[in-house]
Structure 1
Amino acid sequence: MTSIPVVRYQSENIDGLNVFYREAGPKDAPVVLLLHGFPTSSHMFRNLIPVLAGQYRVIAPDYPGFGQSDAPDHKTFKYGFQAFADIVDTLLARLGVERFAMYVMDYGAPVGYRLALKNPARVTGLIVQNGNAYEEGLREFWNPIKAYWNDNSAKNREALHGLVTLDITRFQYTDGVADVSRISPDNWVHDQALLDRPGNRDIQMDLFLDYGTNVPLYPQFQAFFREHRPPTIIVWSKNDKIFPEDGAHPYLRDLPDAEVHILDTGHFALEDKLDEIGPLLLGFLDRTIGAKKA
């Protein structure tokens, strides 16, 4: 009988914040770190974790302001991608993780790549799913956000308030998906409930602004790819309007041996393409970082 991996739901106090994470798999197996996107949390990996955890130690944290982690007021905590990378770094140290492969998606890409820059040798592999590191990947969707980067006025900030509404949250899950019946509505109900918490909109506006600090780091991210050549699989959605396919192919300039799969789906590919992505990732991980066999 095939055993079903047990997922544990835990928190670690880091600098006074309770940081929630999901963990599953053998403690002595190679580690796969799952870094979520906006506006979700480790919830986006709830179905993938059991697929990987039979052979790998899987860790999926929620950043502050997301999921089940603390969400302090934006006036008392400076939300930003470097802060998130530092918190994940501390979490990994607390959990005794010295080396890890990373699944990076959306916001998870700059968090993961900033983490990699701190100690590149720790990164044993990359799984990239609609996570940008090239300016070609910032297309029309980003124009109002870029305007905010250039002028962080109240007017430009307020112009982004629509990005945290239910219509846009639902859009992120359903746009570009051929069979929407495969997408659980629990996704946008769950995410929107957390976005609608008092003060959370300001947290997200601060992060939209801070995302602009990632772009000047793109050359450093690319140098990490080029110089350290971590084994890489790119699983990208061709119908994603937020991180379009234009952002996938430039990776091959710096990671020419990367395995690339373009899927016919939208932003959150795991929701309707897990049956395709799961075997691809297991095959990739087995070939590269090696599984602990039962």
Structure 2
Amino acid sequence: MTNTPTIARRTFLAGSALAAAYSGPGLAMAAPTAFEPPWTGGGTVVRAGGVISYRTIGPDTAEPVVLLHKVGAWLADWREVAPLLAARYRVVAIDLPGHGESVMCGPPPHVQTISESAAIVLAVLSELQVERFVVAGNSLGGVIGVQMAARWPERVRALILASVSLYEGQTRAELDMVEQDRDPQVWTEDWRPLPRTMEQVARFGTVNPAIETEQNASRARADRWVRPSERGVALTDTASTLKATKQPVQLIYADRGYYTKYIAIGREARPDATIVELAEAGSFVHQEKPAETAAAMLAFLDRLA
């Protein structure tokens, strides 16, 4: 596992300045002249509401594979999988709204809905002239991917879900009730994320302390956007939405932890799905087992060719 990436302060400030300078949607920004490994391309795109950051690797003429990260994360989560896919595909990794180097104007909403995030991602891809693609997502990124596949099937050729919560959703009243029991070890009173220990994430997260250290850094970076994004997931019936998809689907999960229960839900929603279970991993399989995850993805995509 590579070390936690350092996000340069000047890059963040540049993104903030760009957001202030460009208020109109649809303006592609100039790409930086250099990129941190393994990325070989990228830049930012201005959409209504903010600036979205992306990175690329692989031939521009190859079929696109879009990588979306988990809640409270950043596109660097995919840095070890991306080069393994890039020999055959054009890989596009995106920082979701309010995450990583994607800078949104103004304070975050109480709820960042999945449909809003999906629409923003699709708009960015349209700017990049990526009209039809394979989407692979972990956690929040997978929920967004399911939404895109169901609502815009002409854009999504195939769907890969890596440790995704296939939740049936709850009402706003139910969510408000749950939030009355805010965990003071995880959230401040105004819902800013606090660093988490390995003991706190053992039930649902990673088994690798280095990954959790990075997760704490990326959650701090997303800051007030973490909880609104989680609320968006909680209010979405992803299980039913997955059932409505028609594209080929691959489910990649670990053999342990909280997320394993979604394997059965995914199988029920899409009996034809390709299911892969990776041994000795937690919920962030693409970070804990990048070579195995990439191999599974490539084998699935090969069958679609």
Please give the range of the TM-score, normalised by the shorter of the 2 chains. Answer: 0.7 to 0.9
What 5-or-longer segments of structure 1 have no aligned partner?
Answer: 139-145
- Residue type of the alignment partner of 2:229: L
SS class of match (1:44): helix
Residue 66 of structure 1: how far off its partner (Å): 0.6
Give the number of equivalent residue pairs: 263
SS at match of 2:186: helix
CA distance in 2, matches of 1:239, 1:59: 29
- Aligned counterparts of 1:13 and 1:272: Cα–Cα separation in 2: 32
C-alpha distance in 2, partners of 1:256/1:112? Answer: 18
CA–CA separation in structure 1 for the residues paired with 2:178 and 2:273: 42
> Residue in 1 aligned with 2:123?
90
1:155-182 deviation line (CA, Å, top 9, x unaligned): 627447715221258854897766x47x
The 8 Å contact of residues 162 and 168 in structure 1, kept in 2 or not, is answered as no
Rate the CA distance shift 1:73–1:278 in 2: closer, same or farther, 3 A: same
SS of the residue 2:102 aligns to: coil
Matched residue, 2:195: 166
Is 1:234 matched up with 2:263? no
Task: Between 147-156 and 203-212, report the one with greater CA deviation.
Answer: 147-156
Aligned residues: CA RMSD = 3.1
Provide the rounded CA distance (Å) in 2 between the counterparts of 1:165 and 1:148.
24
Corresponding residue SS for 2:244: helix
Deviations 1:72-112 (A, max 9, x none): 44367963222111100101111111211111211112211
Who is 1:222 aligned against? Answer: 243
Question: In the alignment, which residue of structure 2 is the partner of 1:212?
Answer: 234
Q: Distance in 2 between matches of 1:40 and 1:169?
A: 17
Alpha carbons 2:150, 2:244 under 8 Å: kept: no
Larger RCO: 1 or 2 (CA < 8 Å, sep 6+): 1
Shift of 1:218: 3.6
Q: Distance in 1 between matches of 2:72 and 2:266?
A: 24
User: What is the DSSP-based 3-state SS (H/G/I as helix, E as strand, rest coil) of the residue aligned with 2:196?
Assistant: helix
What amino acid is the match of 2:137?
A: V
CA offsets 1:198-234 (integer angstroms, 9 cap, x no match): xx33x3232333323212x64233122xxx2x22221
**What's the TM-score, normalizing by structure 2?**
0.74
How far residue 192 of structure 1 moved from its aligned partner, in angstroms, is: 4.1
Are the counterparts in 2 of residues 106 and 131 from structure 1 also a CA contact under 8 Å?
yes
- The AA in structure 1 aligned to 2:271 is P
- The residue aligned with 2:60 is 27
Match of residue 152 from structure 1: 176
1:19-98 matches, within 5 Å, as 19-74=52-107, 79-98=112-131
Query: If each structure's helix is expressed as a fraction of its own residues, which one has the higher value?
Result: 1
Residue identity (%): 23
Number of the residue aligned with 1:265: 281
Taking structure 1 as the reference length, the TM-score comes to 0.77
State the distance in 2 between where 1:113 and 1:175 align.
21
SS where residue 68 of structure 1 aligns? coil
